Amino acid sequence: MAVSLEELERRLSHLRTELREAVRARDKAETTRIRRALREAEAAWEHALESESESESESETGPDDEALLTEPPAPRASATADAPRRKERPTHGSIPIREQVHQALTLLGAPASPKLISSTYEAFFTESLVATKLASLRRDEERSFTAQGYARPYYICAALTHDRLVPARGLLALSTWPVERRIIGPLSPRADFLTHTVGTAEQIQRLTTAGHPAPDAAWRLLRRFALTIPGAYDAAAPEPDPARVITAAYAEATVHQQEDGQQRQAAAQRARTQLADVQQLFGAAPMRDALRDASGTLS
């Protein structure tokens, strides 16, 4: 018997709660098992959603409508041609690209560029993530949210500028993060960089504690972060010490934390009062677009 979307969504919510607890407990085996179950549940959810959409489309087309089609094979050929495009999301395996991005952003903990997302995913996971594949992902996610609302457990969305609340250029975020976490103010790029550093160092610590040496690419990524943080890197050491990097990152973060936090809070409050749900996730339309919509042309 087919599992309903509601049942799959409840399972996804339950698995994410279990994953959070397993990560906190540093239970590597349980974390791996739950991540695998999450990927399977997410794939099942996507399949169920597509099946439901196809069923609704078929129910809207009665026998009389089908009789009006002069070339019946054409729709079937088109549907077949569309199938590979739906499967373009997995880049080099069975994991959809949006799930790859979700995993990388969850590890980093703050909005990030496609290049950093790709580097992070490839540093810690077995499959590659092609950064150029992310160019249209946010637009696809926005279209999905506009059509279906909060149907998915999460969306890959935009970071927002603190002043205009429009999409911050070249930065992706997660819809499950509060607005404050997705706001980009004057000090936010450095604050988020330090958050990325801590997330990377903590992941290496988790792997090491579980007896799984971190990949060389993960150490290279951490070294790149550490080199720009005062006191984080000992040039005489073969690799940066994750604990030292975390301590140094937190120490610098306190310098920016209060002012950056106030700017983010103020912008988030404006976003909640001025923007619709879809705009809070994907940003208000830039003034240029608003003028185009109003006049149909730009002077």
Number of domains composing the chain: 1
The bridge status of strand 167-174 relative to strand 156-161 is antiparallel
The answer as to whether 217 is a domain residue is no
292-296 mean pLDDT: 47
Instruction: Tell me what the pLDDT averaged over the chain comes to.
Output: 81
Angle at 169 between CA 166 and CA 175, to 5 degrees: 65
The closest of 152, 147, 173 to 13, measured between CA atoms, is 152
Cα 284-141-83 angle, rounded to 5 deg: 150
In a domain, 104, yes or no: no
Mean pLDDT for the stretch of residues 152-169 = 96
pLDDT in tens, 47-77: 666 665 445 444 433 433 333 333 333 333 3
- Please give the residue that has the higher pLDDT: either 209 or 59: 209
What is the separation, in whole angstroms, between the first and last Cα of the chain? Answer: 59
The 10s digit of each residue's pLDDT in 7-24 is 777 787 777 778 777 777
pTM above 0.75, yes or no: no
Whether residue 197 lies inside any domain: the answer is no
In three-state secondary structure terms, 55 is helix
- In a domain? residue 20: yes
Q: CA dihedral in degrees (72, 77, 80, 84; nearest 10)? A: -150
Residue 239 lies in a domain: no
CA distances from 194 to 86, 226, 232, 246 (A): 36, 9, 11, 9
Is 260 within a domain? no
Does 25 map to a domain?
yes
- Asked if the structure places residue 234 within a domain, the reply is no
Please state the length of the chain: 299
Domain range for 28: 1-43
CA 105 to chain centroid, in Å, comes to 5
Pairing of strands 156-161, 183-184: parallel
